[in-house]
Amino acid sequence: MTETRVDPHMKVLDADVAARAKARGIDVLVYAPHFTRLPAIRERADRFTDDDLLVVPAREVFTGPWQERKHVLALGLDEPIPDFITLAGAFEELAAQDATALAPHPTFATVSLGASDFERYADQLAAGEVYNPKQWPYQNERSRELVEAHGLPAFGSSYAHRRATVGEVWTTFEREIASEADLLAALEEGAPRHVEHRSGWRHTLRCRVEFFDLAWENTYEKLDRVLLSGMEPTHPRHIAYEGCFDDVRIY
């Protein structure tokens, strides 16, 4: 049986990351860095795709206000979509583009879709995450319970913000995935898969380091840089969006 190891969500990508992924048997990476516009993501994904590793571009869209933001992982986008728009506005745009929406780290902190969001949008989600190194075991279990309660297929990812975390978690699909279209089809069709991760003290240590990396995610410095200037590439008031999202933007 043909199997493909996919890391459906990670943030860092360079030559060392690509080499590490290959060395750890990963076949497909989904690259979705924060606050980076889709064209730049696509360009970098193409740069590190070769015969041994497929890199698929994606966007983790930040919806809602900073203090209560809810992340949605979007694959198969045709056009750029900004951050800090309403959750309803994000799902409406994803539907308009026929994009594939995933729920990363459900219920985690103040950055995730919760039970009420699943009630409303589960039919627009292709899968929900059940294992993520930034989460503690009880948080991963809570995510799994929510995903299973809504009958959604599961996925696990490295969610790597650090190079050392690449290859720690993956989702093995029971089919060949040789292109972005193959991956989107596998997700949309609910293809058989199982979530796997490394074990032992090194894995635990890397998980804890990823968790404490969250400090930067919530500093005032980042808040100021992202929200107050209005010039971040994915800010909804950025000139690149030509005012198209003014009716659903938060800031």
pLDDT in tens, 50-94: 999 999 999 999 999 988 889 999 999 999 999 999 999 999 999
pLDDT band at 229 (very low <50, low <70, confident <90, very high): low
Q: Are strands 127-131 and 100-103 parallel, antiparallel or unpaired?
A: parallel
> How far apart are alpha carbons 182 and 106 in whole angstroms?
25
pLDDT value at residue 210: 86
pLDDT at 221 over 60: no
Look at residue 17 and tell me if it is in a domain. yes
114-121: average pLDDT: 96
What single DSSP character describes residue 123?
G
pLDDT value at residue 218: 59
pLDDT value at residue 217: 59
Is the pTM above the cut of 0.85? yes
Amino acid found at 5: R
pLDDT at 162 over 70: yes
| Domain membership of residue 83 as a residue range | 4-241
Look at residue 53 and tell me if it is in a domain. yes
Total structural domains within the chain: 1
Q: Tokens 């950025």 sit at which residue?
A: 238
Percent of residues, the chain, with pLDDT higher than 70: 93
Look at residue 165 and tell me if it is in a domain. yes
Question: What is the tens place of the pLDDT at every residue in 182-203?
Answer: 999 999 999 999 999 999 999 9
Look at residue 21 and tell me if it is in a domain. yes
pLDDT at 109 over 90: no
Look at residue 249 and tell me if it is in a domain. no
CATH number at residue 81: 3.20.20.140
Decide: 54 and 177 in contact? Cβ < 8 Å. yes
Look at residue 248 and tell me if it is in a domain. no
Look at residue 56 and tell me if it is in a domain. yes
Look at residue 72 and tell me if it is in a domain. yes
Q: Tokens 């029971």 sit at which residue?
A: 174
Q: Which helix (H) or strand (E) element contains residue 8?
A: strand 4-10
Question: Where does 179-241 show beta strands of DSSP type E?
Answer: 193-197
pLDDT value at residue 230: 59
Both tokens assigned to 110: 């103040």
Q: 64-89: buried (b, 16+ CB within 10 Å) or exposed (e) per residue?
A: bebeebbbbbbbbbeebbbbbbbbeb
Question: What is the tens place of the pLDDT at every residue in 4-30?
Answer: 999 999 999 999 999 999 999 999 999
Decide: 62 and 81 in contact? Cβ < 8 Å. no
Both tokens assigned to 70: 């809810």
pLDDT band at 207 (very low <50, low <70, confident <90, very high): confident
